[in-house]
Amino acid sequence: MPPETSPCHPTVTPTRQFLPREPPGSQARQHQPPRHNYHYRGGTKPMTITKTKLILVLVFSLSGMSILRLLKISVISSFSSPLAAAWPRNRLSPSKSQPLPSTTATPLTEKEFHLLSNLISLKAPCNLLVFGLEQPYINLSRINSGGNTVFLEDNPEKMKTIKRNSNHTRIYRVAYETRARDAYKLLKHARKNPACGIYSGSLRQSNCSLALTKLPKEVYKRKWDVVVVDGPRGDTEDAPGRMAAIYTASVIARNGNMTDVVVHDVDRIIERWFAWEFLCDENLVYSKGKLWDFRIAGNSKSTAFCAAKTILIE
């Protein structure tokens, strides 16, 4: 007995097509693309794949891949540019509408103090001048036993809590007339004003806005072996900033023999600006964390602070 047929699935009878035989010697149909027949309910529909269609598909595919690759490159470039992340060139003068991009000052790390203590140990007894007053630097004065250590501080509260530890250590209170918000304006002034040149006369008589002219007399008279700049404050727009301290340290160093000028908090914009401008990239000998050590040769015949002509801040 034959199997029963479901009423929902009618029996499909396979169809067989016979093509007429090609006449002998005929080449017309031999080069014709193959025709694939697909059966559907209404009959048979031919589908022809031509070279033109294949070329169009390839062109669109390659174009899409190229566009995606360009988009990927542009996104990566905008977020991973080391220059943009590390240093904002051509930045306008900071204002209240554009806050000063500065981080809070941090105390010396163990590795930074180790670099400083090694430097003092190699030169001790020596003349050590420090802008700023922090407890770790008092420890440096112990390492500089037999030498002269001078601290310059503008905060009277620190002077009350931190005391000198030897007769060769002196702490002076100083006043700063600059403000961090004016850093860019002061930099432009120094470039244009001959009074701010490398050998423009006595610091005490200078007309340069960056020159500290009211420091204790011994600061101007003594030849310093090491100058450390870790003060005054520079973490807000209204803080004095370290523009004048770095400029004055650079002039003092060039009036000596061979002076190491060490700048702390170089992760901040102002410290980098003025260190590059007046202490110079070619004089950088050591760096550790946020500490840069510049070795300045005194009595140079150079007429400019830096030998390199590259302008890092415009």
Higher pLDDT pick, 59 / 48: 59
Burial letters 181-196, b for 16+ CB under 10 A, else e: bbbbebbeebeeeeeb
Q: How many CB atoms are located within 10 Å of the residue 139 CB? A: 16
pLDDT of residue 183: 97
Q: Which range among 55-69, 88-102, 263-277 has the greatest average pLDDT?
A: 263-277
Does position 76 have pLDDT exceeding 50, yes or no? no
Question: In the numeric block, which tokens belong to residue 43?
Answer: 């009959």
pLDDT band, residue 164 (cuts 50/70/90): confident
Q: Are 260 and 294 in contact (CB under 8 A)?
A: yes
Q: Is residue 265 part of a domain?
A: yes
pLDDT of residue 84: 30
**Host domain of residue 159:** 127-297
Q: How many CB atoms are located within 10 Å of the residue 34 CB? A: 6
pLDDT band, residue 288 (cuts 50/70/90): very high
Candidates 186, 189, 211; CA nearest to 200 is 211
Cα–Cα dist 281/279, whole Å: 7
pLDDT of residue 91: 36
Q: Is residue 209 part of a domain?
A: yes
Count: domains in the chain:
1
pLDDT of residue 103: 45
86-100, pLDDT tens digit by residue?
333 333 334 333 444
Q: Is residue 278 part of a domain?
A: yes
pTM: 0.67
Q: Is residue 201 part of a domain?
A: yes
Cα–Cα dist 241/179, whole Å: 6
pLDDT of residue 62: 72
Cα–Cα dist 223/32, whole Å: 98
Q: Is residue 2 part of a domain?
A: no
What CATH number does the domain containing 149 carry?
A: 3.40.50
Q: Is residue 102 part of a domain?
A: no
Q: Is residue 83 part of a domain?
A: no
Question: In the numeric block, which tokens belong to residue 153?
Answer: 């501080």
Q: What is the mean pLDDT of residues 199-227?
A: 92
Q: Are 236 and 282 in contact (CB under 8 A)?
A: no
Q: Is residue 114 part of a domain?
A: no
Which of 147-156, 243-252, 264-273, 293-302 is predicted least confidently? 293-302
Q: What is the mean pLDDT of residues 251-266?
A: 94
167-209, pLDDT tens digit by residue?
789 999 999 999 999 999 999 999 999 999 987 678 999 999 9
